[in-house]
Amino acid sequence: MFHVEPHTPDWDAVEAARSVFGERFEIAQRYHDSLASTGVERGLIGPREVPRLWERHLLNCAVVGELIEEGESVVDVGSGAGLPGIPLAIARPDLAITLVEPLLRRSVYLAEFVESNGLDHVLVVRGRAEESGVIKEAGGADVVTSRAVAPLHKLAKWSLPLVHEHGRMLALKGSSASEEVARDRDALTKLGAGEVDVVQCGAGILPVPTVVVRAERLPKRRLRHGR
**Residue 209 near residue 56, CB atoms below 8 Å:** no
Evaluate whether the domain defined by 13-217 bears CATH number 3.40.50.150: yes
Alpha helices in the chain (DSSP H): 13-21, 25-34, 40-41, 60-62, 85-91, 104-116, 132-138, 152-159, 177-190
pLDDT of the chain along its 227 residues, tens only? 433 344 344 589 999 999 999 999 999 999 999 999 999 999 999 999 999 999 999 999 999 999 999 999 999 999 999 999 999 999 999 999 999 999 999 999 999 999 999 999 999 999 999 999 999 999 999 999 999 778 999 999 999 999 999 999 999 999 899 999 999 999 999 999 999 999 999 999 999 999 999 999 999 864 344 44
Q: What is the pLDDT of residue 10?
A: 58
Contact 104/174 with Cβ under 8 angstroms? no
pLDDT for res 59? 98
Q: Rounded to 5 degrees, what are φ and ψ at 25? A: -60, -35
- Residue 123's φ and ψ, nearest 5 degrees, are -120, 135
Q: How far apart are CA 21 and CA 110, in angstroms?
A: 19
Phi, psi of 78, rounded to the nearest 5 degrees: 60, 50
